[in-house]
């Protein structure tokens, strides 16, 4: 497995590489969720293609009071995990390598990224789009794999690829969870013991909401607002949880749903436990 820290070196590797390339962008602190994306990438690339992982904690997608400095960076363990998973190349630039000191171009998606995490984290998706576009330009992948755990991010990236004509197939991978339902996240490491014990309430509430919708059927008379109200009560019973947002949205447009219709739904949540903000989501059939 090759480890590359320089953009120029990645470019020349890509120029010599004749096969299909599948990229998995990450911020490191890899867990089983990331590894499942690497497996999906391997499957997609086939035996003759290449799997490229990137590990880069992207400063541009963090707000000024967020956890950029404290974000975990266990690089050796991450590289070992990539190697064990059969990655061909890991790209690990630092921020100065990625961005010119006077970089002045950002990519902004201006529809899907405005609500949900976009409201709570202004500028976050500009940072995500910009870094993903740069990674696509550098690695020139044929496909890239992103987790459904970050559902809004996946939708925003699909839109960017469509609207800017990136020749990259975007593949979504299902959310990988701990045994108690908590979605795996590098940020789970910030939780103290009590917060960790409380955090599965997000998934319990999501399941509760989804099951009510699916049981009630379309004519069951439940509105999105009623389902959400029940979920809020459930989360509020957990004293350590503080809801940032909890929404029922259209699975593609991410617009709030007034009624349940043919096109399905996605329930999306961000909940604080102490200072740690965790996100999760569930659709009719998702993990």
Contacts of 240 (CB under 8 A, 6+ apart): 194, 195, 198, 273, 274
Residues 163-182 that bind ligand AMP (CB under 6 A): 173, 175-176
Judged by CB under 6 A, which stretch of 42-50, 107-115, 145-153, 193-201 contacts ligand AMP?
A: 145-153
Of the residues 113, 140, 185, 188, which one makes contact with ligand AMP according to CB under 6 A: 185
Residues 234-263 that bind ligand AMP (CB under 6 A): none
Q: Kindly state whether residue 34 participates in binding ligand AMP, applying the rule CB under 6 A.
A: yes
Q: Kindly state whether residue 26 participates in binding ligand AMP, applying the rule CB under 6 A.
A: yes
Q: Kindly state whether residue 150 participates in binding ligand AMP, applying the rule CB under 6 A.
A: yes
Helix (H) / strand (E) containing 53: strand 50-55
Q: Kindly state whether residue 147 participates in binding ligand AMP, applying the rule CB under 6 A.
A: yes
**Of 30, 23, 27, nearest to 62 (Cα)?**
27
Task: For the CB of residue 224, give the shortest distance to ligand AMP in the complex, in Å.
Answer: 25
Per-residue contact flags (x/-) with ligand AMP for residues 104 to 143, judged by CB under 6 A? ----------------------------------------
Kindly tell me which of 34 and 247 has the beta carbon lying closer to ligand AMP. Answer: 34
Q: What would the DSSP string read from start to end of 233-257?
A: HHHHTSTTEEEEEEEEE-TTT-PBP
Q: Which residues are catalytic?
A: 34
Q: What would the DSSP string read from start to end of 66-132?
A: SSTTTS---HHHHHHHHHHTT-SEEE---HHHHS-TT--------STTSSTHHHHSTTHHHHHHHHH
Grouping H, G, I as helix, E, B as strand and the rest as coil, residue 1 is: coil
C-alpha 145/C-alpha 269 separation (Å) is 22
Task: For the CB of residue 25, give the shortest distance to ligand AMP in the complex, in Å.
Answer: 6
Kindly tell me which of 50 and 188 has the beta carbon lying closer to ligand AMP. Answer: 188
User: Can you give the binding site for ligand AMP, defined by CB under 6 A?
Assistant: 26-27, 33-34, 36-37, 146-147, 149-150, 173, 175-176, 183-186
């Amino acid at each position: 497995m090759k480890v590359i820290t320089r953009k120029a070196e990645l470019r020349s590797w890509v120029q010599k590489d004749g096969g299909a390339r599948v990229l998995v962008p990450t911020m490191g602190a890899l867990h089983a969720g990331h590894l499942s994306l690497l497996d999906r990438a391997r499957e997609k690339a086939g035996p003759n293609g290449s799997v490229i992982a990137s590990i880069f904690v992207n400063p541009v997608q963090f707000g000024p009071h967020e956890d950029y400095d404290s974000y975990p960076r266990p690089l050796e363990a991450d590289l070992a995990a990539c190697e064990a998973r059969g990655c061909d190349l890991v790209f690990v630039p630092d921020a100065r390598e990625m961005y010119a000191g006077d970089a002045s171009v950002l990519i902004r998606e201006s529809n899907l990224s405005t609500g949900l995490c976009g409201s709570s984290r202004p500028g976050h998706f500009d940072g995500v789009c910009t870094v993903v576009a740069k990674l696509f330009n550098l690695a020139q992948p044929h496909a890239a794999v992103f987790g459904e755990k970050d559902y809004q991010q996946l939708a925003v990236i699909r839109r960017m690829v469509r609207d800017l004509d990136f020749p990259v197939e975007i593949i979504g991978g299902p959310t990988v969870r701990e045994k108690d339902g908590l979605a795996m996240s590098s940020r789970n490491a910030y939780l103290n013991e009590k917060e960790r014990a409380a955090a599965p309430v997000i998934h319990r509430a999501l399941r509760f909401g989804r099951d009510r919708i699916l049981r009630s059927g379309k004519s069951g008379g439940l509105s999105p607002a009623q389902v959400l109200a029940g979920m809020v009560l459930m989360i509020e019973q957990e004293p350590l949880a503080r809801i940032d947002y909890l929404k029922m949205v259209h699975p593609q447009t991410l617009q709030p749903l007034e009624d349940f219709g043919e096109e399905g739904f996605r329930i999306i949540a961000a909940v604080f436990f102490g200072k740690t903000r965790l996100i999760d989501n569930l659709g009719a059939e998702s993990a």
